[in-house]
Structure 1
Amino acid sequence: MTRDKPGTDRSASTPEKLREQIKETREELGQTVEALAAKADVKTRARDRTVAVKQQVGEKTTQARTQLRDKATQAAHRVQDKTPEPVRTKAVAATEQVRDKAAHVGHLARDKAPEPVREKTGQGVRAARANRTPLLVAIGAVAAFLLIRRSRRRRR
């Protein structure tokens, strides 16, 4: 003899009600089987976890890159604020001179370089253009540092 669920009237069981109970039980059993199958599917769970971790790493990388760029910009501004005006003027002049020389050398190199070298150089130029602001800040900071160092040596 089977036990009925609490609160059900056994005498009220009709074939239709029994079919309905069987249908509900089958649906519950199907859902339980699906849940167990999902837990047992290690490949899918590992893939889902990998995707989630990749997304977290990407977000953290973007956040770190932004923080680093902001700090580099702040440091460059601090260096620029502390650098005397004559040194900054010389740094600007030196930067322009270096830029002109680099452009001249670049034209010469481009005219005489083989095709594979030109392709690699083009890739480097595109990367530099994509990161122009941090690159210019770094170059300016290095130029200012070198000029300050040079002026201190001359004072001695």
Structure 2
Amino acid sequence: MTQPPHDEQTASSTEELREQVEETRKELGQTVEALAAKTDVKARAQEKAADVRAQAQERAADVKAQAVAKAGELRAKASDVAHQVQERLPDPVCQKAAEGARTARDNHRVLLAVAAGAVLAWMAYRRGK
């Protein structure tokens, strides 16, 4: 057996010796657990994947919040531009545009059907080539 280092006290009784042995066992068990955790590649990879996933989710949430804010800004800007354009147009043009929008809203099903037919005709034409 090896001699204890000079700065460590030796046990003066059997009870102290048992306590030192028990403490050494605890420390050794903790060291073994730490080494086992470091060598568990699968668990470490899973932990890393979970960390990366969490970071990606945080980044996605940030990007989504930025996109929502930017969309609001763009919507407001588009509304301002539309109002500016509308103010500059002569009244007959504005009335015709409003009438056209109203007609489109009233006949949206017909417009959708015509658009769907046009798409189908285009697809048939492209397929025939």
- What TM-score, normalized by structure 1, do the two folds share? 0.55
Is the partner of 2:107 in helix, strand or coil?
helix
- How far is the alpha carbon of 1:4 from its aligned partner? 4.8
Find the counterpart in structure 2 of residue 3 from structure 1: 4
Which amino acid is 2:15 matched to? E
1:73-119 per-residue CA deviation (whole Å, 9 max, x = no partner) reads 2112112112233578847962x5444433x359x8xxxxxxxxxxx
Provide the identity percentage: 38
> Residues 7-156 of structure 1 correspond to what in structure 2 (within 5 A)?
7-8=8-9, 10=10, 13-83=12-82, 84=84, 85=86, 90=97, 94=101, 97-102=103-108, 104=109
1:108-154 per-residue CA deviation (whole Å, 9 max, x = no partner) reads 8xxxxxxxxxxxxxxxxxxxxxxxxxxxxxxxxxxxxxxxxxxxxxx
- What TM-score, normalized by structure 2, do the two folds share? 0.65
Bigger relative CO (Cα 8 Å, ≥ 6 apart) = 1
Give, in whole Å, the separation in 1 of the partners of 2:54 and 2:75. 32
Aligned length: 103
Q: CA RMSD in A?
A: 2.9
Q: 1:105 to 1:49 in 2, by over 3 A?
A: farther
Q: 1:65 to 1:29 in 2, by over 3 A?
A: same
Largest Rg, 1 or 2: 2
Segments of 4+ in structure 1 off by > 6 A?
none
Unaligned runs of 5+ in 2: 114-129
Give, in whole Å, the separation in 2 of the partners of 1:45 and 1:98. 60
Unaligned runs of 5+ in 1: 109-156
Is the partner of 2:79 in helix, strand or coil?
helix
